[in-house]
């Protein structure tokens, strides 16, 4: 819960700022489109420094790095709130992104090295409770703050959380580190840092018109070239910064590569919902935020059922069936229209949040089922980078699809008909994950869930429990 509370601060910050950009732009006398650089700067810094998070934890100790990251995140948040111009805000967000890059993977590493594998699902469940509160509270809180107070409080609210987090980490979390950490792979750091930064920044600007298409294409191409050069470097480097040999493990591949298809779909969904509810249905930012509250509430409701479900049916069956269910829920959002009752929208988002949360609990746990203790730090770094990349691709892909649909329909202003088809496309994008999940053995992850040998198929499981 201590680790999850630190991640809550990070998630809250990322979901609150999007609603506040127009108000911040007026206060700083900037164009809202220009001020979007405050978000992209954070993502860039985070992408560059994510690869070294595991190495830093092994070299300096996970507790020290984790507490320093929390403190730096809180201090840089205060600097964001005190900013008087765009340059000051961008500089503070740069430092905040560096700190955020360390918090998530190092916090997860502390958990992985402190908890027996048989308790990992239960621990992941508790870890994600505070994390899920960020997206729940973010949209309505952001709308409330910019409506009734100053936008600067969006950043100031991180201060008490940060102070409490540092104190609790120093009191209760033991220091885990490698006895003989390898030297930093500088060449690998540069290749992965610039590679992921180019990809993330490029996809963040696709379809938004903030940068010329040639610049976006150059960012994507440059990032892809750097990442394409990395495997050759990794084969010739004994202690490469990202351990690609982890991709030989079926469970890790299912979690990172198979899970990427799911994360692309889910990553683009909040962006689409904001467009649909605010611009398509004409709801205010505050009302739309209260609507999307339902997704997080559904995610919290799932937390008490995740472990029993995984114990009963096994990871493979749950991932296969739940992928189909989650895709169906994303596709169902395309049916929202001006005459759809608000209670029905809320109930649908509540159900979708339940299935998404079960999916991510299973994915986050199964990825570490076959990872040895000494490789946990590298596994955490690689998994974190894959997750952030997939979410960025999801947002960019959703923006492109909206632009394509509007071009086909020749829409002068965005309507529900421009957004609705994109939900169906994103739902279809998540389905290739089934190929990765179906290749898992029925026993995959049994040690994590603490259950018995899972039944062979979800159909058999339903037959056994049928009256």
287-305 as b/e: b if 16+ CB within 10 A: bbbbbbbbbbbbbbebbee
* Residue 458 scores a pLDDT above 60: no
The CA distance from 122 to 136, in Å, is: 21
pLDDT for the residue numbered 171: 87
Burial track 63-88 (b if 16+ CB lie within 10 A, e otherwise): bbbbbbbbbbbbbbbbbbbebeebee
HEC-encoded secondary structure of 260-292: HHHHHHHHHHHHHHHHHHHHHCCCCHHHHHHHH
List the single range of 22-26, 50-54, 130-134, 342-346 with lowest mean pLDDT: 130-134
pLDDT at position 428 is 95
Got the DSSP string for 140-203?
Answer: HHHHHHHHHS-TTHHHHTHHHHHHHHHHHHHHHPPP---SSPPPP-HHHHHHHHHHHHHHHHHH
Domain 1-173, CATH number (from 1.20.1250.20, 3.40.366.10, 2.60.40.10, 2.60.34.10): 1.20.1250.20
**What is the structure's pLDDT at 320?**
94
Share of the chain residues as helix, strand and coil, in percent rounded to the nearest 5: 80, 0, 20
What are the Cα distances from residue 370, in Å, to 248, 253, 423?
11, 11, 34
Taking residue 466's Cβ as centre, other Cβ atoms within 10 Å add up to 6
Q: Is the pLDDT higher at 432 or at 140?
A: 432
Contact 270, 256 (CB under 8 A): no
Give the model's pLDDT for residue 457.
Answer: 37
Whether CATH 1.10.3720.10 fits 242-467: no
* Residue 206 pLDDT class (50, 70, 90 cuts): low
How much is the average pLDDT of 119-136?
Answer: 72
Q: What is the mean pLDDT of residues 225-233?
A: 91
Rounded distance between C-alpha atoms, residue 362 and residue 386, angstroms: 16
More confident call, 201 vs 85: 85
User: pLDDT value at position 432?
Assistant: 94
Residues 255-314: tens digit of each pLDDT: 999 999 998 888 778 778 877 877 777 777 667 767 777 777 787 777 778 888 888 888
User: What are the residues whose beta carbons fall under 8 Å from the beta carbon of 303, sequence distance 6 or more?
Assistant: 125, 126, 128, 129, 357, 361
Stated length of the chain: 467
CA distances from 198 to 108, 226, 406 (A): 25, 9, 27
- Residues with Cβ < 8 Å from 285, sequence gap 6 or more? 19, 139, 142, 143, 146, 278
Mean per-residue pLDDT, 181-189: 85
Query: By mean pLDDT, which of 164-168, 371-375, 436-440 is the weakest?
Result: 371-375
Q: What is the CA radius of gyration of the chain?
A: 21
Q: Are the beta carbons of 291 and 349 closer than 8 angstroms? A: yes
Please give the full DSSP string across 293-349, using - where no structure is assigned. HHHHHHHHHHTTTHHHHHHHH-HHHHHHHHHHHHHHHHHHGGG--TTS-HHHHHHHH
The reply to whether 1-173 and 242-467 are identical in fold is yes
Q: Render 114-145 in DSSP notation, one character per residue.
A: HS-GGGHHHHHHHHHHHHHHHHHHHHHHHHHH
Least confident of 30-39, 252-261, 384-393: 30-39
pLDDT band at 455 (very low <50, low <70, confident <90, very high): very low
How many other β-carbons are positioned within 10 Å of the β-carbon of residue 126?
Answer: 13
Supply the pLDDT for residue 451: 52
pLDDT digits 0-9 by tens, 87-118? 898 899 989 988 988 887 888 888 877 777 77
Where are the domains positioned within the chain?
1-173, 185-240, 242-467
Give yes or no for residue 466 having a pLDDT over 50.
no
* Mean pLDDT (the chain, rounded): 81
């Amino acid at each position: 819960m201590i680790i999850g509370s630190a991640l809550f601060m990070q998630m809250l910050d990322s979901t609150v700022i999007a609603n506040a950009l127009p108000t911040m732009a007026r206060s700083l006398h900037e164009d809202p489109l220009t001020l979007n650089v405050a978000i992209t700067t954070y993502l860039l810094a985070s992408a560059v420094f994510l690869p070294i998070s595991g190495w830093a934890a092994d070299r300096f100790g996970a507790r020290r790095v984790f507490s320093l990251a929390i403190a730096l995140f809180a201090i840089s948040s205060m600097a964001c709130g005190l900013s008087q111009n765009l340059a000051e805000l961008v500089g503070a967000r740069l430092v905040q992104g560096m700190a955020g890059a360390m918090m998530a993977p190092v916090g997860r590493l502390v958990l992985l090295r402190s908890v027996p594998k048989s308790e990992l699902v239960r621990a992941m469940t508790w870890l994600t409770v505070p994390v899920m509160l960020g997206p729940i509270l973010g949209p309505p809180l952001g709308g409330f703050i910019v409506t009734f107070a100053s936008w600067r409080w969006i950043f100031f609210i991180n201060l008490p959380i940060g102070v409490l987090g540092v104190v609790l980490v120093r009191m209760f979390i033991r220091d885990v580190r490698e006895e003989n950490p390898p030297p930093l792979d500088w060449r690998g750091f540069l290749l992965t840092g610039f590679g992921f930064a180019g990809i993330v920044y490029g996809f963040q600007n696709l379809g938004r018109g903030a940068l010329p298409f040639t610049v976006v294409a150059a960012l994507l191409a440059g990032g892809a070239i750097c990442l394409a050069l990395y495997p050759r470097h990794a084969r010739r480097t004994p202690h490469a910064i990202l351990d690609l040999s982890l991709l030989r493990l079926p469970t890790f591949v299912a979690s990172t590569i198979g899970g990427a298809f799911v994360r692309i779909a889910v990553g683009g969904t909040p962006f689409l919902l904001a467009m649909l509810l605010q611009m398509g249905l004409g709801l205010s930012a505050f009302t739309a935020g209260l609507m999307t509250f339902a997704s997080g509430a559904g995610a919290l409701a799932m937390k008490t059922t995740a472990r029993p479900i995984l114990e009963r049916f096994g990871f493979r069956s749950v991932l296969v069936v739940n992928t189909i269910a989650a895709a169906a829920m994303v596709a169902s959002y395309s049916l929202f229209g001006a005459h759809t009752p608000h209670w029905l929208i809320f109930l649908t988002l509540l159900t979708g949040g339940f299935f998404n949360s079960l999916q991510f609990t299973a994915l986050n746990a199964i990825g570490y089922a076959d990872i040895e203790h000494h490789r946990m730090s590298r596994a955490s770094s690689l998994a974190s980078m894959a997750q952030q990349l997939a979410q960025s691709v999801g947002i960019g892909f959703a923006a492109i699809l909206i632009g394509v649909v509007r071009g086909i329909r020749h829409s002068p202003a965005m309507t529900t008909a421009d957004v609705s088809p994109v939900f169906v496309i994103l739902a279809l994008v998540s389905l290739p994950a089934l190929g990765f999940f179906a290749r898992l053995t029925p026993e995959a992850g049994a040690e994590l869930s603490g259950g018995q040998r899972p039944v062979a198929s979800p159909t058999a499981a339903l037959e056994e429990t049928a009256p």
